[in-house]
C-alpha cells in the first residue's frame, strides 16, 4: 500500500488502525496471516468516511464480523480489513402492538449477547441462535441458524451502507434467503450491513431461560468447544445425510494433518488441536472433500468463508 494511503488511514482512524496485523488474533480458528491494514473505526461517521475514502482511492476492503466463520490463509489478506465491533454494537428493544417485540441490533453486536438479552427480557424467537458465535451482521450475511430456526424466521429489515456512503433500509419483502445465504432482490451488494431489525414475541422468562440452558448444554456435549474452530466447516447437502455424518461414515474422525484435526466429538468440525496453520486446515478440508466424493458421490461445499 502506498505511503499516502497509509497516512490517510492514520489521519482518520488514529490508534484504531494497525498495519500487518496477524489475523490469528481475530479469528476463532486462531490461525491466519497478517491483514495489510486492520481498521476498527470507533464511530459511524469514521466508518462512513473510511468506506467512501476507500472507494474514492480504489482501495480494496473486506468487512468481517467476529471472525468465527472465517479461515484466513497463511499469506494473509491484502487491502483493508474492517471490523465493526467498536462503532456498531448497540442493541435496543421496543414493544409494538401490531408487530410484537421489535429488536434493533447493530451489526457489530455479539449475536450471543442479543440472544441472552432477549431471554432475560422474556422475548421469544432468538433461542435458535444460542451458542452461535460471531456478530449480528455476520449472522445476517450467513442466514445463521440451527435445526431450531434461522435468521430468516425473525429478520424484518436490515439497514445497509450503500457504495458512496448512502444509508438505506431494506424491508423483508426485498430480501432473498437461502441455506446460509442472504441477499437483496434488487441485485445490489451493499458495502456493509449496519443493523438488523428482528420481530420477537412475549414469552415466559423462566421457560426461555430453561430452554436456553438446555440448548447450550446440548451444544457443549456435541461440539468440541474446548478447541479453536470455525464451527461446522461444511454445509449440509440438500438431500441425504448431514455433512458430519458423511465424514464420520467415511472413517475420518480423528484424522490429523499437522496441528489440525477432524473432531472426534463432531466430524463436521475441523479443530486447531496444536498450533495448526491455515495450510494444515485446508489440506484436511481437501482430504474430506475427496474422500466423501469417492465414497458417497457427494460434493461438500464449505460453510466457512476462506479468504486471503
Within this chain, do residues 175 and 236 fall inside the same structural domain, yes or no?
A: no
Tell me if 28 sits within 8 A of 230, measured CB to CB: yes
Within this chain, do residues 158 and 228 fall inside the same structural domain, yes or no?
A: no
Last residue of a domain, one of 42, 66, 83: 83
Residue 298: is its pLDDT beyond 80? yes
Last residue of a domain, one of 221, 251, 282: 221
User: If you average pLDDT over residues 20-39, what whole number do you get?
Assistant: 97
Chain position carrying cell 439497514: 159
pLDDT digits (tens, 9 = 90+) for 38-49: 999 999 999 999
Within this chain, do residues 167 and 198 fall inside the same structural domain, yes or no?
A: yes
Within this chain, do residues 95 and 211 fall inside the same structural domain, yes or no?
A: yes
Distance CA 58, CA 185 (A): 27
Say which residue, 233 or 133, is predicted with more confidence: 233
Helices and strands (H and E) in the chain: how many: 7, 20
> Domain containing 108 — which CATH number?
3.30.465.10
Q: What is the mean pLDDT of the chain?
A: 92
Query: Half-sphere exposure of residue 263, counting CA atoms within 13 Å on the CB side?
Result: 23
Tell me if 33 sits within 8 A of 23, measured CB to CB: yes
The grid coordinates listed for 280 are 494444515
The pLDDT of residue 73:
97
pLDDT band at 190 (very low <50, low <70, confident <90, very high): low
Say which residue, 230 or 189, is predicted with more confidence: 230
Number of C-beta neighbours around residue 66 at 10 A: 24
**Partners of 94 in the β-ladder:** 102
> Domain containing 298 — which CATH number?
3.90.78.10
Distance CA 105, CA 164 (A): 23
Within this chain, do residues 216 and 238 fall inside the same structural domain, yes or no?
A: no
The pLDDT of residue 99:
61
User: If you average pLDDT over residues 227-246, what whole number do you get?
Assistant: 94
Last residue of a domain, one of 50, 83, 116: 83
The pLDDT of residue 188:
65
The pLDDT of residue 95:
80
Within this chain, do residues 97 and 217 fall inside the same structural domain, yes or no?
A: yes
Within this chain, do residues 71 and 128 fall inside the same structural domain, yes or no?
A: no
- Range in 116-120, 288-292, 297-301 with the lowest mean pLDDT: 116-120
> Domain containing 22 — which CATH number?
3.30.43.10
The pLDDT of residue 145:
85
Active-site positions read: 180, 232, 303
User: If you average pLDDT over residues 263-286, what whole number do you get?
Assistant: 97
Within this chain, do residues 196 and 230 fall inside the same structural domain, yes or no?
A: no
Domain of 33 in residue numbering reads as 3-83
pLDDT digits (tens, 9 = 90+) for 134-177: 899 999 998 988 888 899 999 999 999 988 788 999 999 999 99
pLDDT digits (tens, 9 = 90+) for 70-117: 999 999 999 999 999 999 999 999 887 666 789 999 999 999 999 999
pLDDT band at 7 (very low <50, low <70, confident <90, very high): very high
- Spatial neighbors of 74 by CB under 8 A, at least 6 apart, are 31, 32, 33, 277, 278, 279, 308
Length of the chain as a residue count: 308
Within this chain, do residues 125 and 217 fall inside the same structural domain, yes or no?
A: yes
Within this chain, do residues 105 and 198 fall inside the same structural domain, yes or no?
A: yes
Within this chain, do residues 252 and 179 fall inside the same structural domain, yes or no?
A: no
Residue 186: is its pLDDT beyond 80? no
Q: What percentage of the chain reaches a pLDDT higher than 70?
A: 98
Within this chain, do residues 175 and 149 fall inside the same structural domain, yes or no?
A: yes
User: If you average pLDDT over residues 261-283, what whole number do you get?
Assistant: 97
Q: What does pTM read for this prediction? A: 0.89
The number of domains in the chain is 3
Amino acid at each position: 500500500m502506498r505511503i499516502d494511503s497509509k497516512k490517510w488511514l492514520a489521519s482518520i482512524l488514529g490508534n484504531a488502525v494497525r498495519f500487518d496485523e496477524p489475523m490469528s488474533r481475530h479469528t476463532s480458528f486462531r490461525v491466519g496471516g497478517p491483514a495489510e491494514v486492520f481498521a476498527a473505526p470507533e464511530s459511524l461517521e469514521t466508518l462512513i468516511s473510511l468506506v467512501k475514502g476507500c472507494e474514492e482511492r480504489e482501495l480494496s476492503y473486506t468487512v468481517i464480523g467476529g471472525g468465527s466463520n472465517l479461515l484466513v490463509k497463511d499469506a494473509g489478506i491484502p487491502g483493508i480489513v474492517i471490523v465493526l465491533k467498536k462503532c456498531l454494537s448497540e442493541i435496543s428493544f421496543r414493544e409494538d402492538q401490531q408487530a410484537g417485540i421489535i429488536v434493533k441490533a447493530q451489526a457489530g453486536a455479539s449475536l450471543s449477547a442479543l440472544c441472552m438479552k432477549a431471554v432475560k427480557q422474556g422475548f421469544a424467537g432468538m433461542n435458535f441462535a444460542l451458542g452461535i458465535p460471531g456478530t449480528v451482521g455476520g449472522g445476517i450475511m450467513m442466514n445463521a441458524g440451527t435445526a431450531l430456526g434461522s435468521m430468516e424466521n425473525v429478520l424484518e429489515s436490515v439497514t445497509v451502507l450503500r457504495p458512496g456512503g448512502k444509508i438505506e433500509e431494506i424491508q423483508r419483502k426485498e430480501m432473498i434467503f437461502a441455506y446460509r445465504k442472504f441477499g437483496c432482490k434488487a441485485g445490489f451488494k451493499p458495502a456493509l450491513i449496519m443493523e438488523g431489525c428482528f420481530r420477537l414475541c412475549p414469552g415466559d422468562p423462566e421457560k426461555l431461560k430453561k430452554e436456553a440452558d438446555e440448548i447450550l448444554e446440548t451444544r457443549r456435549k456435541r461440539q468440541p468447544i474446548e478447541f479453536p474452530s470455525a464451527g461446522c466447516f461444511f454445509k449440509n447437502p440438500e438431500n441425504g445425510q448431514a455433512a458430519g455424518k458423511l465424514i464420520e461414515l467415511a472413517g475420518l474422525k480423528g484424522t490429523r494433518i499437522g496441528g489440525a484435526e477432524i473432531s472426534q466429538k463432531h466430524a463436521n468440525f475441523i479443530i486447531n488441536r496444536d498450533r495448526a496453520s491455515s495450510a494444515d486446515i485446508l489440506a484436511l478440508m481437501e482430504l474430506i472433500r475427496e474422500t466423501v466424493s469417492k465414497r458417497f458421490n457427494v460434493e461438500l461445499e464449505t460453510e466457512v468463508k476462506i479468504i486471503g
